[in-house]
Structure 1
Amino acid sequence: MAHLCLTDVSVHFGGLQALTEVSFDLRPGEIVSLIGPNGAGKTTIFNVITGVYKISGGSVAYDGQTISGLRPHHILARGIARTFQNIRLFTAMTALENVMVARHCRTRSGVVGSVLRTRRQRAEERAVRERAMAALDFVGLANHADAVAKNLPYGLQRRLEIARALGSDPTTILLDEPAAGLNPSESRDLMEMIQRIAKTGVNVLLVEHDMSVVMNVSHRVVVLDHGVCICQGAPAEVRSNPAVIEAYLGSEAD
């Protein structure tokens, strides 16, 4: 199974240092959460891993191979999928179609096969549909497969984003604030879903502000502040760390 490793990763945009020598890893079937104040660099790390941002120093390796500098679609093909803080669905397409789109990195039929409707192309299309339905079923949306995405309630749109990421058959999934806007019942369902994903052997890297979600599902927690890793360890260790408490709550002197 794949192992994600960030070593001394730095990112700067002109004079702004967004990340400074950040190092951590993500092991097979593990749930690791990135936490920190707004602007700490959490989403920047997601963008680095998925090839949206180029690193200024250090390296990102996946399954023993450097992926720093690869384009996003090549990284997706390697097995790293993600969701977004702000929902990004194809709103006019059905739930099933949204997940089927994610299979493009796993299909082999070309333009000629699609036009001529060859036997291979038809078989591949059936396989894409079946895999997409399996992803919808995993997140509890099988009964909404034909629903147009924009007509789904907010909580189900969040689930659909996760289903679309799972539809690409990832070995690592990056979830960017999946509990944002969810009610307590939906958050509990989300925690159970994240744990089920990890049990399938998929690594989960989570950015989340809901500490009840973070502390209940994470094997390890990595804490960022102003682009620097100030602490990492088991949830109980992180929760009692003075540097973490100060970064979130401010020091007594403040």
Structure 2
Amino acid sequence: MGSPTAVQTIVSAIVAAILAVPAGAQTDAERGAPSGRGSIGIHLQLSEPKGEFGRNTGNGFGVGGYALVRLDPNSIANLRADLSFLTYGMSTRRIPLSGTGGLIQLDLRTTSNIVSFVAGPQLLGPTGMFTPYATALGGFSVFWTSSSIEGSSNQRDSFATTTNASDASLAYGGAVGSYIRVNNGTYPVRIDLGARFLRHDDVRYLNADRVRDAYTNDRPPVPLRGRADFVTYYLGANIIAF
């Protein structure tokens, strides 16, 4: 019985060593989400306007990215900086080129966009496969609408562009979400699912009605002015960069 006992002891020691390696070498990436000293994320985004802004505009879509730097060894307190681009209005009108008798047709494209840069502290909840987080954010957003003229069959190569209206406003709000761990390799990856709310107290912007009115009456568009709040729902990935 001595030999089997010795074998069992050796096997037990090997198993214990194998199990001890992940436990002993457990990285921040395995304990928290995200981890390391810093990470980056990229999102697809869908925006839903609220209040007065919601009555004047519709849903938007776009992309965003952020950088996250931890402030403590456990990655509970972090500093986050977000940059996002949204388009909340788009229209195309076919117009004839003057002097061609309608033989040359052009596309008049108008888009309304928002670029936001916000930053603030982010706190992580309990870590594991799912790790919730909450972020307070502050910064600014730029709202603008532009129109361009392009040929109707030249793959959208515009040859004239005008900014119809633009304005910048302070932005503040917050975000909540969750990291879902999918890979703990050299560069750990997590799915990032969440929602962000931004408030803008006073900003000038154009909507579809004001653009249509300007086109119909052949005059410069008159921007709306007021509070502009919206929620952005996002889905993307977080990658531990360093």
TM-score higher than 0.5: no
Q: Which has the higher helix share?
A: 1
* TM-score range relative to shorter protein: under 0.3
> More relative contact order in 1 or in 2 (CA 8 Å, sep 6+)?
1
- In the superposition, the TM-score normalised over structure 2's length comes to 0.18
Q: Which has the higher strand share?
A: 2
Query: Considering only CA atoms, is the larger Rg found in Structure 1 or Structure 2?
Result: 2
